[in-house]
Structure 1
Amino acid sequence: MLNVSDLRLCRTLLFLPASNPRAIEKARGLDADLIVLDLEDAVKAESKQSAREAAVAAVREGMGGRPVAVRVNVPGSSWYEADAAALRGIGLSFAILPKAESEQQIRDLGERVDAPVLAMIETARGVQVAAQVARAAAGLVAGTNDLSADLAIPAGSGRAGLALGLQSVVLAARAAGIAAFDGVCNRLEDDEGLAAECREGRAFGFDGKSLIHPSQIATANRIFGPNDNEIDAAQRLIAAATGGAERFEGRMIESLHVEQARALLARSRQQP
């Protein structure tokens, strides 16, 4: 079972509507590291109650050994209180709070559901206060769709306008010592585009990526998980290091690089 201490090993967060029983059943056999049952954007207003009941039932039944999170509706909405009340004491791995904009929001939800909370950074204000939010969160998730809208970034213009926001999310998470996850790729039939986003997200420092379709899992798992060449290089570096600054395969290394290599090997061996 995935917990806060090894959340940074998580490569893929698969979001699916809690109102879709077929999707929930299928998810039990998928290779996503964390299953997220969504009560917010993916669920119509008239289906909120039934989706909440379905999410509770799914968590209690289990998701095929996968850790499971539930994304509640935003605080202040007419559904938030009922969401939080329903999730307490059901064995939830994580709760996910959308549009997080304060440390207190995270603490409030965590106390209500008695589970660690992942905070979604989806607004300009959320980016500005991400460091405060991170103090109470188990991890940060970049909500790229809502953030793009809040920043008035034109649709279809790519992610260049999000660069500062994405890097701010990673910076806040790292300063707090918690996990950070990239936002979703909306293009379901663009494998190259998904791979490019995953490579960019990993280059930014994200631990993994949010997904909205099972077809995206394999690509994200592959790119956010160390490949054979990286594993071999890490093993060679550790074997060659003798302490202090020294030359290794044409570059200078020191203890920091040894620690990075060991972290990479731990990630390769201990995927959720």
Structure 2
Amino acid sequence: MARPCRSVLYIPGSRERALEKARDLACDAVIFDLEDAVAPDEKPAARGLLARVLRDADYGPRLRIVRINGLDTPWGQDDAVAMAAAIAGGAKIDAILVPKVNAPADLDAVAALVPGADLWAMMETCAGMLNAAAIAAHPRLTGMVMGTNDLAKELGSRFRPDRLGVQAGLGLCLLAARAHALTIVDGVYNAFKDEAGLRAECEQGRDMGFDGKTLVHPAQLQIANEVFAPSDSDLDLARRQIAAYDAVTAEGGGVAVVDGRIVENLHIVTARALLEKAAAIGALAN
């Protein structure tokens, strides 16, 4: 079972206090951001600070993901080289997040600069959506992050609670990620004080199939963790489905029925995966 990624919090790589605080936050993963969250004149210092922090600080079971600047910017290559050196020096970095991935060649370029490191891809351009299947097949890729703000900007779509404008892209990336057994997390919800709106968007993402959601503020953690975790009723149903199916199988065949619905092997696969996810989430708290 993959490590849970219900809540993936962006932290500016230039803010030492925020980097320290993230060690105690209830997030499953942290994206240490050297791109959008860091002003141009702060980028070199942020790069050095982050390399030092990830070498010395303990972030427990949280996934540690570093978003570098694009290689088409003045900072991207230096970011990649610095993170490669940091990893070689003992820094704990689980993946390098590559921004604005349009095609597999964008991942190839970063892979050459950071040997051996897992890569994640920011999926936030129209070209990226159309090439999602090829991107997901990259041998170093282990995760995808939806960049819905940039995608909406490129599309020229308007914000709607149902996210109609970006749904095609969300679906393409989900299909690609699942075809290649990748982690995939949904885009951010910008209005961090709007709890009802955040919950609705988390529920939509969960129902679509995302593993979790990227977040811009610690105040969003509780809702994301709750929505993307199996509920008590989900787990109860999963256990009853497994028990009914096992009982029928032990008797030599027949049809298992739970709550008036036929239970087939595909439902058992889903039920067992749900129980495994709950166990993995429980292990994070211990």
Q: What is the TM-score when the length of structure 2 is the normalising length? A: 0.89
- 1:58-112 CA-to-partner distances (Å, cap 9, x unmatched) read 2112343122110000121111110000111233111101111111222332342
Letter in 1 for 2:9: L
1:197-239 deviation per Cα after TM superposition (whole angstroms, max 9, x unaligned): 1000001110110011001011000000101111111111111
| Structure 2 match to 1:121 | 123
- Taking the aligned partners of 1:63 and 1:151, their CA distance within structure 2 comes to 40
**Equivalent AA in structure 2 for residue 18 of structure 1:** G
In 2, the alpha carbon distance for the partners of 1:38 and 1:189 equals 22
CA contact (8 A) 1:36 1:71 kept: yes
Distance (Å, rounded) in 2 between the aligned partners of 1:262 and 1:112: 39
Paired amino acid for 2:51: V
Aligned residue runs from structure 1 range 14-53, under 5 A: 14-53=9-48
Contact 1:183 1:210 in 2 (8 A): yes
Q: Is 2:72 the counterpart of 1:76?
A: yes
Q: Match of 1:119, SS?
A: strand
Equivalent residue number for residue 12 of structure 1: 7
1:181 and 1:210 in contact (8 A); partners too: yes
Per-residue deviation, residues 118-151 of structure 1 (Å, max 9, x unmatched): 1011011110001111112211111000000000
How far residue 261 of structure 1 moved from its aligned partner, in angstroms, is 0.3
Question: Aligned with 2:35: secondary structure?
Answer: coil
Aligned partner of 1:186 among 186, 190, 199: 190
* Partner in structure 1 of residue 137 of structure 2: 135
Q: Does 1:226 align with 2:236?
A: no
Q: Which ranges in structure 2 are unaligned for 5 or more consecutive residues?
A: none
Tell me the distance in 1 between the aligned counterparts of 2:57 and 2:82: 16
Q: Give the equivalent residue in structure 2 for 1:99.
A: 100
Q: Distance in 2 between matches of 1:165 and 1:228?
A: 32
SS at match of 1:6: coil
Quick one: which amino acid aligns to residue 12 of structure 1?
S
d(CA) in 1 for partners of 2:125, 2:199: 25
Aligned to 1:258: 268
C-alpha contact 2:240 2:258 (8 A) present in aligned 1: no
Instruction: Give the deviation of 1:169 after TM superposition.
Output: 1.1
Question: Larger deviation: 109-118 or 133-142?
Answer: 109-118
Amino acid at match of 2:30: I
Q: 1:209, 1:58 → 2: CA distance? A: 24
CA RMSD of aligned residues (A): 1.4
In 2, the alpha carbon distance for the partners of 1:141 and 1:263 equals 22
Partner of 1:157: 160
Provide the secondary structure at the position in 2 that maps to 1:209: strand
| Equivalent in the alignment of 2:202 | 198
Q: Secondary structure at the match of 2:189?
A: coil
Alignment check: 8 A CA contact 1:226 1:264 kept: yes
1:58 aligned to 47, 53, 77, which one?
A: 53
Structure 1 residues without counterparts, runs of 5 or longer:
none
Match of 2:213 in 1: 209
